[in-house]
Amino acid sequence: MPELPEVDSYRTGLAPTMIGWKIKGGKALWKNASDADFYSIINQKITGFDRRGKYLILNLDKSNIIIHLRMTGRIDLTENETPEYTTVELDFYNNKKMCLVDYRKFGKVWVVEDIEKIVGHLGIEPLSKQFTSKKFKLMIKKRKGTLKPLLLNQQFIAGIGNYLADEILFRANLHPLRTADTLNKKEINELYLSIRHIIRKSIRFGGTTFLTFRGPEGKKGKFWKKLQVFRKTGEPCPHCKRPITRIIVGQRSTHLCENKQKLHKKLH
């Protein structure tokens, strides 16, 4: 599932190519994917790209196109036939097409003037200047819940999905079932550093390649080679060599080293 790094690689990859392109039209080939008024954006040019959480934002002269790839969505630029499984297509005067290709069809496209209408509910951007360790300490002190679902909560921090959450908790030596109110100062700081470190590292390596994700140039991300625990059930932990285990937390597959990420601390 595309998470913050994968969406960010579309942002940085598509911007140099697509800025200045003028829209000729657009349509939803799968009705549930969009009820946007594509007539309203005809003749508008792309002026910029942005991202909030897992949402990709195309700024136009007057409006914005917002795309969420959900489970299996990817973006294809083409000049030829519309690819199979395209749910939404945008056409440009240079004869290129931007297609949301999505075989499970959960991805969505909006056209809005006010971006906040769609992304206003999102929590803090984990790589922003505002997300300091001091700020994180205050954020986590208000929470009591289990760590894994908390990291996945887009209203808490925007952009973290299943693979990032598992990798972050592994690096921070925190069991996914620990609750926020049991963390000491040092653990809170480790969690903060791990959030920044893992997301930055995944962006640097172009994200992962799970399911249908490919980068903007059709190239596969290399971060999957750097994964320590995600989808590594039974393989040796890179630190202690004990097998990685898989548990279910909040209905999500969760991977961890139970030796490195202890649920209960020894009482001595």
Q: How far apart are CA 14 and CA 6, in angstroms?
A: 12
The yes or no reply on residue 237 touching Zn ion (CB under 5 A) is yes
Residue nearest to Zn ion (CB): 237
Binding-site member from 27, 40, 259, 262 for Zn ion (CB under 5 A): 259
Q: Among 236, 203, 205, 26, which Cα is nearest to 127's?
A: 203
Choosing from 5, 6, 51, 54, which is the catalytic residue?
A: 54
Number of residues that bind Zn ion (CB under 5 A): 6
The yes or no reply on residue 101 touching Zn ion (CB under 5 A) is no
The yes or no reply on residue 262 touching Zn ion (CB under 5 A) is no
Binding-site member from 141, 144, 219, 239 for Zn ion (CB under 5 A): 239
The yes or no reply on residue 260 touching Zn ion (CB under 5 A) is yes
Site string for Zn ion, 189-228 (x = CB under 5 A): ----------------------------------------
* Residue 52 known to be catalytic: no
Q: How far apart are CA 56 and CA 262, in angstroms?
A: 36
The yes or no reply on residue 232 touching Zn ion (CB under 5 A) is no
* Residue 2 known to be catalytic: yes
Q: Among 231, 132, 249, which Cα is nearest to 179's?
A: 249
* Residue 216 known to be catalytic: no
Choosing from 45, 96, 201, 252, which is the catalytic residue?
A: 252
CB of 27 to Zn ion, least distance (A): 51
CB of 241 to Zn ion, least distance (A): 7
Binding-site member from 128, 240, 262, 263 for Zn ion (CB under 5 A): 240
Q: Which is nearer to Zn ion, 94 or 259 (CB)?
A: 259
Query: What are 139's two structure tokens?
Result: 């954020």
- Ordered strands of the 64-68 beta sheet: 46-52, 55-60, 64-68, 108-112
Q: How far apart are CA 122 and CA 130, in angstroms?
A: 14
Q: How far apart are CA 42 and CA 63, in angstroms?
A: 11
CB of 240 to Zn ion, least distance (A): 3
Catalytic residues: 2-3, 54, 252
List residues binding Zn ion (CB under 5 A): 237, 239-240, 257, 259-260
